[in-house]
Structure 1
Amino acid sequence: MQTPVPSDLIAKLAQAYPEHASRIVETLETPPSVSLRLNSARTLSARPFAELEDGTIPWLPAELEGYWLSERPTFALDPLWHAGAYYVQDASAMTLATIWEQLDWHTPPRLALDLCAAPGGKSTLLRDLLPKETLLVSNEILPKRCKILVENMVKWCCADQMIITQEEPQRLTALLLGACDLILVDAPCSGEGLMRRDEEARRMWSPQLIADCVTRQRAILQEAMRMLAPEGILLYATCTLNQEENDQMVQWLLDHYPCELIDLFRFAERITGAYATSYGLHLWPGIVRGEGQYLAALRLTDIVETPSEARKAKGLTRTSRQELAGLSWLSEPTSADYFTIGDRIYQLTPEAALLLATAYREHLAVATPGLEIASMRHQAKGYEPSFALLHHKLYDAIKLPSLELPLEEALRYLRGEALTTESSTERGFTTITYRGIPLGLAHSTGSRLNNLYPKPYRLRI
C-alpha cells in the first residue's frame, strides 16, 4: 500500500477502542487474509487450492465449508472459480451464517431482500441458508456491479427462487412495502475494515466521508424499515470500524422505529477475537482472522406503514407444457410454472410471477426475473439451453453430449475461443466441462465447436 492509514482514523480508533487500536492499525499495514467458501451444490473431486489450505473457518455451520489460504492465487486462471464451484469471500463476512440458526424465526421467511447485494457474497450465502421455498430478491443500484451480481448468483445455482433488480431503494418500496420477512442491508460504508486490501479506501477516507455515509445509510434504512413486515428481521452489516456507522446507527434505528435488538452477544465466543456490544458484533483486523465487519440484528415489533390495496397487475405469458416437451435437455419439469418473457423461458413460482408482474407494471428495472430455462437467440434455430440452466439441477446433462477439457483448453474456452477436436463430434449443443463441472455450452459443427460462453463473463487475461 502506498497510502498510509490516515492519522485521523488512527486517533478515532485509539479513542473508541484503546485496548485494540494499535493492533488494528499494525494489521492494516499487513497483507490481507484470503479465504473461500465452497458451493455445496457442486460435487468436487478435490478441494480447490488444497495445497494452500491454511485452516478451516470454524464459525461456519456444519452444512457449509470454508477455509483460509496461505497466499492469494490467481483465481481468474482457475476454471472452477468461473464455474461457481466456490466463492472467494472474507471469513469475517461469513459471520452471517454463524448467527443464522439462532435468529428465532417465528415462521419461516417467505420473502427475503438483500438490498445492497453486489458483488453477491452475502446473497449466495443467504440463498444457501434460506429455506428453498423462500423467494430472495437481490438488489444493486449500480449497473456494473449489478452485472457482477447476476453472474455470481447464476453461477452459484441461485437463479431458482431468485429475482435480481437494479433499483433505488425507494422505488423498491412501492413493490415490497411491508412484505419482507428478512432484509439484509450490507450498507455502503467508509470501508475502514478493508484498508488492508483496498488502496482506494485509504485515499478516499475522511471524517466527511463518514458523515456522508451516515446520511446515505439512514436513507437506505428508512426504506428497508418500510419494506419490513411486522416480526420481520433486519440484518445490518458494514465493513467499517467507526461507531457512527455501526453501534450509533443501530441506536438511531431503535430511536425511530418500533423494533427490538436480537442479542448477538452469545455468538462472540464462537468467533475467536469477536467483540460484542449491546448492539452488535464487531470483527476487527488483527483481532479476528479476517477483515473488518460489523453485524447487528433487529426485529420489527409493529407496522411501520400500512400497504395500500394492491392493484391487480397484468399476468405474465405462460409457456405451454407442449412447448417445454420439445426441450430435450430439460429434465422433468417441476410443479412450478413456466413463463415466456421476451425471447426467453423462465421457471417461476406463483409468488415470484405475481411479484414480477407488479414490478413490470411499475417499470422497475429487473436484471434477472428468475431461473432462465431457454433462450431463442436465432429465431430460425429455435430455443437453446440457457447458461443459467446449465448450472441448475433441472439441466439434464445426460441428454446432451459433453466434452471434458484440460486446464489450458478450458482457459481458451473461457476466453471465448473456438475449439477444434481431433475426432468428429455430434452436431448440436455440447456441454463443456472441467473436472466434471459444467463451464458453459458450445455448438458443434462436427470438427469445430463454436463457443457459446457468455461474452460478458469471458476471461480477459
Structure 2
Amino acid sequence: MSNFLPSKLVSALKHDFNIDAEEFIGVHESGEQITSVRINPAKKTNQFENLPKVPWCQTGYYLDERPSFTLDPLFHAGAYYVQEASSMFISHIIQTLHLSQEPLLALDLCAAPGGKSTLLNSILHPDSLLVANEIIKTRVNVLANNLTKWGNYNTIVTNNDPSSFNRLPGFFDLLLVDAPCSGSGMFRKDNHAIDEWSTDAVNLCSQRQQRILADSLSTLKENGILLYSTCSYSIEENEQIADWLIDEHGMKTLHIPIDASWGIEETKSPRHKCHGYRFYPNKLKGEGFFISCFIKTASQHTFSRKKVKSDSKAFDKSILNNWLSEDINISPINFKDDILIIPERSELDFKSIQHVLYLKKAGTIIGKKGQKELIPNHELALSNAKSNHIQRLDLSLEEALQYLRKAELTLPSRSNGWALACYQGFALGWVKALSHRINNYYPKEWRILNL
C-alpha cells in the first residue's frame, strides 16, 4: 500500500469500485500536473486553437505546460478561465439534457471561485438568469470578480446561507450544488488535502452535504434539475448522497450517455441504482470528480412574485447613450450609488431575489452619474454589452502589464476623454486621456504585483 495516499481510501475504492489500485497510486505519485482552460465564447481568442481539446467540453483545452496566467493580459480580460477539466463535464450534461434550448433560472449554490458559474453562464440560453451564491464571505469577492471578467450582465452574485433560499420556494429551474467535500479528488494537485483526509472528515462532510441540500432543495421547482457534484472519491459523499436524495427528497435519477473513449466511470448507487459519473486521474486527463443528475418529482409550492413591489420610477436612459450596444434589451436600475443593467425580461426576477437575499453584485454596473458625465465603472469595461464605438487604446504586452500593475502610462491619444485600454482587441479597463497625461483607472484592488 502507498505511503502517499490514505490506505483506507484506496482499500475502499478497490472494494466498492474495483479500481486498479496500482494504477491509481502510480498516477498520484507521478507528480504529473494537468492544466486546462475554457475559453469565453463571447470573447473568442485563438491562442489555444491548436491545442488538444477536452473531449466533453467544446470550449475546453489542455495546455502543454502551466504558464504564468498573471502575466497574460487575456486572462485579466476574461478571454478564458483556468478550470479543472473534469468539472467541465457539466457542459456535456447541460447539452445532453437540452437545458440550453430555452431561458432558465439557474442557481449555483456553492459557487466560488466561479469556474462552474462561468461555464453555466456560457452554455445556458443567453436569456437565462444565473444566480451564483457563495456561503463564505471571504470567498465571494473572487466569485464576483470572475463573473465581472466573464462580461455577461445576466448574473447575480449572492452571499447567503443555503437555508436563505427557502425564501424563494419553487423559484429555480436548475440547481447546481458543488458541495464542500473531503477533497480526495484533489490529492494529485494538493498534498495538504492528503494530510487533512480522514474517515471522520468524510463522515462530517457527508452530514454537511445533506444539510446543505436539505436546506436549499425547496428553491428548486417541481420538475427542476439538480446537479450534485463533489471532488471526493468517497461513496459516503457521492452515491450514498444520491440514495438519500431519492429516499428523502423526491428526486429521480437521470442518465447521461457518455463516450467510452473518455475514460469516465459510470456507477450505480447501492440502493436505488442512481447514475453517477466518476473521474479518476489514471483513466483520463483530469482530477478526481463525481457528479450525479436528478429531476425533482416532489410537489413544490412556488414563490409569489406578487409579494414584490414594482418600482414605477422612470429611468432616463439617455445617460447611457454611446456607452452600450444598441441591440440589447436592458433595464437600467439605480442600485446604491451606481447605475446597473440587467436583462429587461429578468427585472421582476431580480427584484424578487433582491427582496429576500443579500446581493453582492447584480448585472453589470455601468457607472455613476457625475456632474457633467457618466463616470464609467470597471465592470462596463469588461462587459460584453458595451458599445463598439467607445474610444480604444491598443497596448503592447509590456504596456498592458504596466496598465495592469496600475502604473503610469505614456501613450499617444487620438482625443481627450474616456478610453478602453485594450490588448489584442480585448478590453482590460479604463483610462482617461487628458491634455498632458493619461490617468490609469484600473481598480487598485485588482492590480497585479510586479513579478
TM-score, with length taken from structure 2: 0.91
Unaligned runs of at least 5 residues, structure 1: none
- Show the 5 A alignment for 1:60-459: 60=57, 64-103=58-97, 108-158=102-152, 160-174=153-167, 176-264=168-256, 266-269=257-260, 271-277=262-268, 278=273, 279-304=275-300, 306-307=301-302, 309=304, 312-316=307-311, 318=313, 320-324=315-319, 327-332=321-326, 334-350=328-344, 352-362=346-356, 364-376=357-369, 379-380=370-371, 382-400=373-391, 402-421=392-411, 423=412, 425-459=414-448
User: Residues 18 and 272 from structure 1, CA distance in 2 versus in 1: closer, same or farther, beyond 3 angstroms?
Assistant: closer
Q: CA deviation at 1:98?
A: 1.5
Q: Give 2:54's aligned residue.
A: 57
Shift of 1:381: 5.2
Give 1:351 deviation, angstroms: 5.4
Q: Does the 8 Å CA contact 2:170/2:303 hold for their aligned counterparts?
A: no
Task: State whether residues 319 and 338 of structure 1, in contact with CA within 8 Å, keep that contact through their aligned partners in structure 2.
Answer: no
Contact 2:408 2:439 in 1 (8 A): yes
**Is the Cα–Cα contact under 8 Å of residues 40 and 79 in structure 2 kept in the other structure?**
yes
Q: 2-side partners of 1:281 and 1:24: how far apart?
A: 17
Any idea what SS the aligned residue of 1:398 has?
coil
Cα distance per residue 1:289-334 (max 9 Å; x no partner)? 1001111100011214x34655633334756235435x43333263
SS at match of 2:170: coil
Task: State which drifts further: 306-315 or 112-121.
Answer: 306-315
Give the Cα–Cα distance (whole angstroms) in 2 for the partners of residues 317 and 204 of structure 1.
54
SS at match of 2:237: coil
Q: 2 CA distance for matches of 1:211 and 1:332? A: 54
Residue 431 of structure 1, CA deviation: 0.7
> How many Å separate the matches in 2 of 1:410 and 1:234?
42
Q: Secondary structure at the match of 1:419?
A: coil
Greater alpha carbon shift after TM alignment, 84-93 vs 197-206:
197-206
Paired residues, number: 442
Q: CA RMSD in A?
A: 2.3
Tell me which amino acid in the other structure corresponds to 1:201. Answer: A
Helix, strand or coil: the match of 2:235? coil
Relative distance call for 1:436 and 1:73 in structure 2 (3 A) is same
Structure 1 106/122 Cα, relative in aligned 2: closer, same or farther at 3 Å? closer
Question: Structure 1 residues 180, 308: closer, same or farther in 2, change over 3 A?
Answer: closer
Tell me how far apart the structure 2 counterparts of residues 269 and 344 of structure 1 sit (CA, whole Å): 51
CA 1:107–1:419: 2 relative to 1, 3 Å: closer
- Aligned residue for 2:339, secondary structure, equals strand
The percentage of counterpart residues that share the same residue type is: 34
Displacement, 1:90? Answer: 1.3
The change in CA–CA distance for 1:318 and 1:27 in structure 2 (over 3 A counts) is farther
Q: Which amino acid aligns with 1:389?
A: L
Larger deviation, residues 7-16 vs 366-375: 7-16
Judged with a 3 Å threshold, the aligned counterparts in structure 2 of structure 1 residues 319 and 286 are, in CA distance, closer, same or farther, namely farther
SS of alignment partner, residue 439 of structure 2: strand
SS in 1 for 2:430: strand
Code of the residue aligned with 2:433 in structure 1: it is S
Q: Please, what TM-score do these two structures have when normalized by structure 1?
A: 0.89
Q: C-alpha displacement at 1:247, in angstroms?
A: 0.6
Q: Aligned with 2:258: secondary structure? A: helix
Please say if residues 162 and 215 of structure 2, whose CA atoms lie closer than 8 Å, have aligned partners that are also in contact: yes
Distance, in Å, in 1 between the alignment partners of 2:435 and 2:4 is 58
Relative to 1, partners in 2 of residues 1:274 and 1:335: Cα closer, same or farther, differing over 3 Å? Answer: same
Q: Which amino acid aligns with 2:343?
A: T
